[in-house]
Amino acid sequence: MKAGQAEFLELSQELLDHGKSIRFRAHGRSMHPFIKDGDILIVEPMNGAPANVGDIIFYRLPYDILVAHRLIRVEKHKDNTILITKGDALKYYDPPIPAGLILGRIIRVEGKERQLPLKGWPGRPLGFLIACFARGHYPQQIRFVRNLGRLWWLMKGRHIKK
């Protein structure tokens, strides 16, 4: 891991643990079209609240890798809660993670002169709908999720005043 990544991980975790929101630039295409490479993500701390199916959660994987993917399913077991996540543009689920690895929830995405709120109405219901469709492993499902994302950006994406 690069030195800057370790510092970012440590600082992010500390700020979110103290109830502060963070913002950072996304890298990768796994959440396209909701999150594009280079978009700015605003993450709020969970503050003990449970993650909801459809939320885009920010979590830490072993080997200190940070990921922002959509929560697809929550499995409650006797001693712990296991989360199943998936990138919107990916075919397959991520490896299951324990709920304790969640650092926060993405509440807003800022793209080129636009921002997309994901908190509240209709962000949460749309996220849930996308999570339901993301449970399949067929090409039409990925196409449908991408089209929902494009439609969401067209409907709710707000221009940022400069």
Q: Token digits for 73?
A: 């399913």
User: Domain map of the chain by residue range?
Assistant: 3-159
Confidence (pTM): 0.80
- The residues with which 73 forms a beta bridge, in sequence order, are 84
Residues of the chain with pLDDT under 70: 1-4, 122, 133-146, 148-162
Give domain 3-159's CATH architecture: Ribbon (2.10)
99: DSSP letter: G
- Mind listing the pLDDT tens digit for each residue in 84-129? 999 888 878 889 999 888 999 999 888 877 787 878 776 777 777 7
Coil, strand, or helix at residue 1? coil
Query: What pLDDT, on a 0 to 100 scale, did the predictor assign at position 57?
Result: 94
- The residues with which 110 forms a beta bridge, in sequence order, are 40, 115
Mean pLDDT of the chain: 80
Query: What pLDDT, on a 0 to 100 scale, did the predictor assign at position 142?
Result: 63
25 alpha-carbon distance from chain centroid: 13
